[in-house]
Amino acid sequence: SDAPVSSSTHRAPPSASVSPSATASGPTPSATPSRRPSSRPPDRSPSPATSSPPPADTGEVKSYPTRGGRVVLELAEHSAKLVSATPEPGWSMQVWTTPEWIRVDFSDGADATLSVFCTWNGHPPTVEVVDQ
């Protein structure tokens, strides 16, 4: 633990830490500004609302709590992504994902199975919870 502390203290005091960041930011800005002016400022100035739907990879994150566990999905316009699935204590979980649907099963090991289905094949994502 002495080495990391001393290295962090060596980096912090000298003004040299400022110049490396300036030189490090030299190559990075060349890539970043070229992207930012073209994509971000134009999108933000006209209307931020229109800039969010077109990239279909980011959607609305929704949580689906069930007695078997909790499923968190990101629902976009034409797709969905599984963010997380957490079984309740004593429940097990199985997950299937395909390009058109996601299925999460929670099982209590006895006779109860609870399934969360999300499908979006040709339509906006729909989520269905089936408690068997």
> Residue 61 in contact with residue 43, Cβ under 8 Å?
no
Q: Determine the 3-state secondary structure of 7 from DSSP.
A: helix
- Domains of the chain (ranges; CATH) run 2-51 (no CATH), 60-131 (2.60.40.3860)
Q: Model pTM? A: 0.56
Distance, CA of 23 to CA of 67 (rounded, Å): 54
Query: Who has greater pLDDT, 22 or 90?
Result: 90
> For residue 65, what are the contacts with CB-CB under 8 A and spacing of at least 6?
none
Query: Who has greater pLDDT, 118 or 3?
Result: 118
pLDDT at 50: 40
- Exposed / middle / buried, residue 125 (Cβ in 10 Å: 0-12, 13-18, 19+): buried
Residues in the chain: 132
Pair type for strands 69-75 and 80-87: antiparallel
> Residue 41 in contact with residue 33, Cβ under 8 Å?
no
Compute the mean pLDDT over every residue in the chain, rounded to the nearest whole number. Answer: 73
Query: Which of 77, 66, 78 lies closest to 117 in space, CA to CA?
Result: 66
pLDDT at 132: 79
Average pLDDT over residues 63-86: 96
